[in-house]
Amino acid sequence: MTTLRKLLHNPIGVLALVMTGVVVLTVLVSLVWTPHDPLGVNVPLRWSSPSLEHPLGTDALGRDTLSRIMAGSRVTVTTSVLAVALATVVGVAIGALLVFLPRGLSSALERLVDLSVAFPTLILAVIIATFAGGSMWGVVAAIGLGSTSTITRTILPELRRSVRTDHVLLARTSGAGPLWLLGRHILPEVTPTLLVRMTQLLGAAALAEAGLSYLGLGTPPPAPSWGRMLAEHQSQIYTRPEVLAVPALVIVWTTLAFNLLGDALRDALDSRSEL
C-alpha cells in the first residue's frame, strides 16, 4: 500500500491533506489574484463590517482583511519552507559529521547539540532575528538555525543505525568515501524519518514566523504578515475582537494542518502499519 493510499485511508490523514491543501491553494491564488490591493488604504471604509465587497471587513486603515490574509499566507509559507530547508541542510550536515568524525570529537560535538536542543527554539530565533534585523531572510535564518538541532537530534540515531548496516560496511570496505556513502546509501534510508520531522517543523516555523512578526522582528512593512496584523490591532481586542480572531484562526489552522500532516505521514510511513 502506497503512502498516499495510507493517508487517504486515515481520517486524520484526509483532514490533514484538506487543511494543508487550503493553505497551499490560498498561497497559489494570492500570487495572481486578491479581492483588493492588500496595501491599498481607504480611510473612509475603515472598520467596515463583513460584506460582499469585503467578506472579512476592513481594518483601521480601510485595508481589505481577506486580501491581507491571502497576501500574508505567501510570507508565512515561503518563510516556513525556506527555514525548514535551511534547518534540514545544516542539521543533516551536522549529523553526518557526528557519524563520521572520530568518537571523542563526535561525543563533544553531540553534547553541544544536546545543549542547543534544551534551549527554547523561539528564544534562539528572537536572538538571531534581533542581530539579523527585520527582513524575510533574517527570519529564515533565525527560524532555520534555531531548528537545526531538532533535525540533527531526530536523524542522528537513524544515521548511526544506517552506518552499521551490512551494505554500508561493504561499501566502506570497498573504499567508498563519506559523501558517496551519505548520498548513495545513508540518506535514502533516513528520508522517511526526515520527511516527517520536516513536515512537523513547518507548523512550528509558521508559528515562529507569526511570533517574530508580532514582536516586530519579522518581514518589515508594508508586506502583510499575520503576526503583525495581531500586533497592529491588539488594542481593539475588546471593541473589535473579530479583527484579531481572523489572523489568529489562520495561524492556528496553518500550524495544525502541518502538524496533522506530519503525524499522518509518520503513521503512513511506519512499516508496522501494514501488519
The ranges assigned to domains in the chain are 73-274
The percentage of residues in the chain with a pLDDT greater than 70, rounded to a whole number, is 97
87 contacts 148 by C-beta, under 8 angstroms: yes
Domain with residues 73-274, CATH architecture: Orthogonal Bundle (1.10)
Distance, in Å, from the CA atom of 189 to the CA atom of 184, rounded to the nearest integer, reads 10
Q: Residue 275's pLDDT band (boundaries 50, 70, 90)?
A: very low
Give residue 1's pLDDT band: very low, low, confident or very high (50, 70, 90).
Answer: low
Mean per-residue pLDDT, 249-259: 97
pLDDT average, residue stretch 62-87: 96
- Section 258-263 average pLDDT: 95
Q: pTM of this prediction?
A: 0.91
Phi, psi dihedrals of residue 260, rounded to the nearest 5°: -65, -40
- HEC sequence for 182-214: HHHHHHHHHHHHHHHHHHHHHHHHHHHHHHHHH
pLDDT tens-digit readout, 175-186 = 777 777 777 778
